[in-house]
Amino acid sequence: MSEQTKICCLGAGYVGGPTMAMIAHQCPDIDVHVVDLNPKRIAAWNSEELPVYEPGLYDVVKQARGRNLKFTTDVPGAIREANMCFISVNTPTKTFGIGAGRAANLEFVEKCARTIAEYSDSDKVVVEKSTLPVRTAESVQRILNSSSSGVKFSVLSNPEFLAEGTAVDDLLNPDRILIGGDNDVAIEKLADVYKHWVPDERIIRTNLWSSELSKLTANAFLAQRVSSINAISALCEATGADVDEVAGAIGTDSRIGPRFLKASVGFGGSCFQKDILNLVYLCEHFGLPEVAQYWEQVIVMNDYQKRRFSTRIVKKMFNTVSDKKIAIWGFAFKKDTNDTRESAAIYVCRDLLEERARITIYDPQVSLEQIRQDLEYLMAGPGGVLTEAQRELLYNNVTVTSSAKAAADGAHAIAVMTEWDEFSDQDFDSIYQSMMKPAFVFDGRNVLDAQQLSDAGFEIESIGKS
Ligand code: UDX
Ligand code: ADP
């Protein structure tokens, strides 16, 4: 009989936490220990207020926690007990040195590999869960093999395709599970974990590099769709077409399909930009400049879309927003998450602050501390130091409120940055009364009823509609 699987996952973030919770939930016979270097994060996973806001996640965690799911800072202990280690740590874009602004920073992944090698006293399957550049598995394997303990490691790539905000459902009903590797025994051991709830025909086995590249390619294709419809949104605004109508019409073509055609202020999130930059770096590295330039345009278009939105706000408000109050509805990069990484809201707020606007932000899940940190980071730029003028702007011109209505009180304009459901469900007559006139609404997500708002007296500007 084969040995019972015992899992250790290094990294309790947006990917590691939910994924391991679902594995533990669906596989009561498998012990799952999730470790992190950050004791605050582990304490939050052990509390009633999880560090990751994700609909339905708390129920999943609650059912498995204390049974076969454990969150701990005991990294050596969890590694020793496990025969399968997942690496699920952050791989941000490098901000320094070779490949800065493009390549992924693999420092955390490499440290994980070294930690696994250091504390392992029995053979292990090591699973890459983090999104990684192609051929990272090779480096991880080499680091593990360089350990002198005689322990054997088999490295697999098993990229995660969950989207934030729908993670529980994505994990429960995945379109596919992808496992890349060259050791069939290890591949089947991991497949057996997923087979507890995923039909075998949805488990795809490939070689290591195909698996790693598939993850980057999937995200590049999805981001490309968003940039494509956003490019068309600019043309719609210029010509009088309606981007939602265009998206609806082309989405009925079964070869195109309806999803990921929602025009917006620009995509965000921890993956799209990072993965495309990774792809671009890879293509350049392998001497394929045309391919690199092709994919880079997806990001160029996204930057254009974010900038276009803030420029439109300034232009419509009589070419100045200086000392005007602008309510920012939503700061997360999409609804149903507290994640703000690469959120378009950060860029638009930066632009408005540079124009000396006063901004009042409301997001149902993002804290003041996070908002400050994101704005500080972007405004300080590569040097990492804020000028005195920037610091003043950040502290004098940014406030955070506890409701959408409060943010709009006395404002000259509302800018919708995240498509939270509650934003379309407001008392717009009373909001209109409380605002300065003309009262502008800039709907960066096309979630508000433009006719209703216009009837209430607002001047409404939507994406891709003139
Ligand atoms: C993405 C991938 O979908 C997921 O498979 C991968 O594992 C991680 O990256 P995520 O970033 O969590 O997931 O969210 P996603 O739903 O893909 O949205 C990304 C960004 O694109 C968001 O800012 C979203 O608002 C934006 N978007 C998405 C649009 O603007 N329009 C759309 O039609 C779809
Ligand atoms: P992702 O979206 O990929 O899950 P996050 O930043 O949300 O990224 O989570 C990554 C987590 O990995 C963080 O909580 C971080 O503290 C943790 N981490 C980074 N390096 C290590 C390491 N060597 N061992 C354990 N945890 C780590």
Q: How far apart are CA 177 and CA 175, in angstroms?
A: 7
Order of strands across the sheet that contains 31-35: 69-72, 31-35, 6-10, 84-87, 124-128, 153-157, 177-180, 203-206
Asked whether residue 263 is marked as a ligand-binding residue, the answer is: yes
The backbone torsions φ and ψ at residue 65, rounded to the nearest 5 degrees and listed phi first, read -65, 135
Q: How far apart are CA 448 and CA 461, in angstroms?
A: 10
Q: How far apart are CA 204 and CA 191, in angstroms?
A: 9
Tokens 């490309």, located at residue: 224
What are the pLDDT digits (tens) for 229-282?
A: 999 999 999 999 999 999 999 999 999 999 999 999 999 999 999 999 999 999
Asked whether 160 lines ligand 1 (CB < 6 A), one says: yes
Taking alpha carbons only, the member of 32, 14, 15, 34 closest to residue 23 is 32
Domains located in the chain, CATH noted: 6-206 (3.40.50.720), 272-462 (3.40.50.720)
Asked whether residue 12 is marked as a ligand-binding residue, the answer is: yes
Q: What is the DSSP letter of 33?
A: E
How many angstroms does the Cα of residue 147 sit away from the middle of ligand 2?
23
How many angstroms does the Cα of residue 259 sit away from the middle of ligand 2?
30
Q: How far apart are CA 420 and CA 336, in angstroms?
A: 7
333 Cα nearest atom in ligand 1: 23
289 pLDDT tier (thresholds 50, 70, 90): very high
Q: Please state, rounded to an integer, the average pLDDT across all residues of the chain.
A: 96
Ligand 2, atom 25, residue with closest C-alpha = 36
How many angstroms does the Cα of residue 430 sit away from the middle of ligand 1?
33
Tokens 């936490």, located at residue: 17
Asked whether 109 lines ligand 2 (CB < 6 A), one says: no
Sequence-separated (6 or more) residues with CB below 8 Å from residue 425: none
Asked whether 269 lines ligand 1 (CB < 6 A), one says: yes
Q: How far apart are CA 9 and CA 85, in angstroms?
A: 6
User: Model-level pTM?
Assistant: 0.96
25 pLDDT tier (thresholds 50, 70, 90): very high
What are the pLDDT digits (tens) for 393-403?
A: 999 999 999 99
What are the pLDDT digits (tens) for 317-371?
A: 999 999 999 999 999 999 999 999 999 999 999 999 999 999 999 999 999 999 9
Ligand 1, atom 1, residue with closest C-alpha = 163
pLDDT at 1: 55
* Residue to mutate, 271, 305, 342, 346, ligand 1, most ligand atoms under 8 Å from C-beta: 271
Q: How far is CA 225 from CA 263, 264, 267, 451, 464, in A?
A: 10, 12, 10, 28, 15
- Which bound ligand lies closest to the C-alpha atom of 221? 1
Taking alpha carbons only, the member of 465, 417, 404, 413 closest to residue 438 is 413
Q: How far apart are CA 362 and CA 403, in angstroms?
A: 6
What are the pLDDT digits (tens) for 188-235?
A: 999 999 999 999 999 999 999 999 999 999 999 999 999 999 999 999
Q: Is the peptide bond before 159 cis (omega within 30 degrees of 0)?
A: no
Most confident of 90-99, 216-225, 383-392: 216-225
Mean local confidence (pLDDT), 155-172: 97
**Encoding tokens for residue 362?**
């409301």
Mean local confidence (pLDDT), 285-297: 97
Residues acting as catalytic residues: 271
Q: How far apart are CA 363 and CA 328, in angstroms?
A: 8
Q: What is the secondary structure of 232-248 as a DSSP string? A: HHHHHHHHT--HHHHHH
3-state secondary structure of 163: coil
Sign of the CA dihedral running 48, 52, 56, 57:
negative
Asked whether 276 lines ligand 1 (CB < 6 A), one says: no
**Encoding tokens for residue 239?**
């010509």
Asked whether 219 lines ligand 1 (CB < 6 A), one says: yes
Asked whether residue 404 is marked as a ligand-binding residue, the answer is: no
Asked whether 143 lines ligand 2 (CB < 6 A), one says: no
pLDDT at 235: 98
What are the pLDDT digits (tens) for 110-143?
A: 999 999 999 999 999 999 998 777 788 888 999 9
How many angstroms does the Cα of residue 219 sit away from the middle of ligand 1?
8
Q: What is the secondary structure of 316-359 as a DSSP string? A: HTTT--TT-EEEEE--SSSTT----TT-HHHHHHHHHHHTT-EE
5 pLDDT tier (thresholds 50, 70, 90): very high
